[in-house]
Amino acid sequence: MNSRTTIIVHDLCMVMLAWCLALFARFNFVMPPFEHFVSGLKALPVVVVIQALILWRFGLYRGLWRFASLKDLWNIIRSAALGAVCVALTLFFINRLEGIPRSILILYPVFLLLFLGGPRLFYRLWKDRTLNLRQITNGIRVLIVGAGEGGEALAREMLRGDAYLPLGLVDDRAALARRRIHGIPVLGAIERLPLLVERHQIDLVVIAIPSATNLEMQRIVEICETAACPFRTLPHLQDIVSGKVGMRALREVSIDDLLGRTGVQLDWQLIQTNLAGKSVLVTGGAGSIGAELCRQIARLGVSQLTVFDQSEFNLYTIDRELRNLAPHLQIACVLGDVCDRVAVTQVFQTAKPQIVFHAAAYKHVPIVEAQIRAGVHNNVLGTDTVVNAAADHGCETMVLISTDKAVRPSSLMGVTKRIAELTCEAANQNSRTRFITVRFGNVLGSTGSVVPLFQSQIAAGGPITVTHPDASRYFMTIPEASQLILLAAAAGKGGEIFVLDMGKPVNITYLAEQMIRLSGHIPGEDIRIVYTGLRPGEKLHEELFHANEALVPTAHEKLLLAGHTSVDANYVRTLITHLREACGRFDEALIRDLIRTAVPEFRESEASPSSADEARIIQFKRSTK
């Protein structure tokens, strides 16, 4: 019953039948007197036209009978009642209701309610019964994890289709045990999933808990993996609330689901107030973090967005994306290097930015470890160039995007980022510009990060290379990192080092094993994990703040403030001058001495010549268990 024309014809026939039956019911279902019969027939066209318009107005033809609901019944009741009133008033003005028994106007809406609502109800019941009685082989046998709103919505949609056959739900809430949702039984706790998969010959497990934390998802996925059954998941909670949930939204469980954290709720009004109507410059704006920053900023009502980057292709890509995302925003994509003082000065003079996000940096530890001059030139002197330009041109705020590797650095890359932090702290002491630093760890999916590397290694059939069995890292998603950077820019007063709450560190071996499992393989059998040893400059475990930096909570739970002692601005300026001279002479020995003096907590790499051998020994011991 999906044809709108068929439904309209049906309803008009029911209107005529209800009117005629009301007339016959008035005379105890015998032939009415001739004058009443004629008056009733003459009024019938008026009744049909008025009632048809009212039914259309109440949206009776926008839905499908198969999905008829209480809302449709309520619309029918209102349509029948209002129709009776409008018919009575119209006939009164036409012929003063001559020959029309008044009781017909009471009986008519009752019969109309039965004739319009009854077929819809029986069709819905018949369709649901047909779905419940269909042969098991006609659909994919599904077990749903989660009996909350997500599971209920998913089960309801499955019952409306023919492709999936939901046989049960599992949920850890004891109060739901032995309950039924749309006729589907809740079969027990999630721990019973492997047993239920085997007992009911389940073809697919669907995780329908959009609000699950990463720890909950890890546990559920591990249980699903022991059941040796394919599994999928629903999107995030905001998509459920917005009505996007459905079988089309089912997707593979991603590594973000296991390692990502609960979505943050930001003070967008504060962020927008800080950025709206202003000119914003993002250096390194075509990189992973910089590009996501630009996407977020483009939605916040800025007057102009300038993207500064040295990668021509990446700049071309983000330019096209931003112009599609915000066609009315004034966007300037500038090709240039933050180490080029003339180019930086020119972009500041042209764009006149009020807010600057400095994301341009070399970030790959092994590469910078082998090329100290390039790392210092870009990460330290490039930052100093942008800092001076921001101060000279009277910018309101500059935000430096730093890294956890700047904390007690063991790598040259970490040292350069620590000196960049010192540069911003020193500049904040003698400038009207607010200089703010935001420090966080690894970002899932960023260019050169471990997740894309593991994905490519899995696609090639392995092996996956991990530096050390015990190595761990902090992770967060690109959008979350970018949004918290924006929040820090709005909340900072100047001189702060904000530390993003990265949650608990993740063991890299665990990350590799989960990615192998999510790709449908078995770790150690289908895809091997090879331990290569810590590379020069790498730590076994990362840190987010120094021992002398007491973390202070802020108004936002995900944003912490690293309390730190003030720096000697004159010393920092002298250090930068010496580093600039040493880079000009390509004197890497002097550069190394200068940075060791400037950052006394700098430790040599935890990697040692024997670390690779040690890792291989551990790998051998694991493989022989």
Record the tokens describing residue 156, joined without a space.
């309801």
Please give the sequence-ordered ranges of beta strands (E in DSSP) within 186-329, or none if there are none.
Answer: 204-207, 231-233, 279-283, 304-309
- Say if residues 66 and 3 touch (Cβ distance below 8 Å): no
The residue with tokens 């497990």 is: 205
- Beta bridge mates, 529: 464
Distance CA 381, CA 573 (A): 11
| 439 phi-psi bin (left φ>0, alpha ψ -120 to 50, beta other) | beta
- Say if residues 489 and 272 touch (Cβ distance below 8 Å): no
Does the annotation mark 352 as catalytic? no
DSSP 466-520: ES-TT-EE-EEEHHHHHHHHHHHHHH--SS-EEEE---S-EEHHHHHHHHHHHTT
- Say if residues 280 and 545 touch (Cβ distance below 8 Å): no
Out of 405, 417, 539, 558, pick the active-site residue: 405
Distance CA 293, CA 286 (A): 10
Distance CA 611, CA 531 (A): 10
The alpha-carbon radius of gyration of the chain (Å, integer) is 34
- Say if residues 47 and 41 touch (Cβ distance below 8 Å): no
User: 345-382 burial by CB neighbour count: b if 16+ within 10 A, else e?
Assistant: eebbeebebbbbbbbbbbbebeebbeebbbbbbbbbbb
- Enumerate the active-site residues: 405
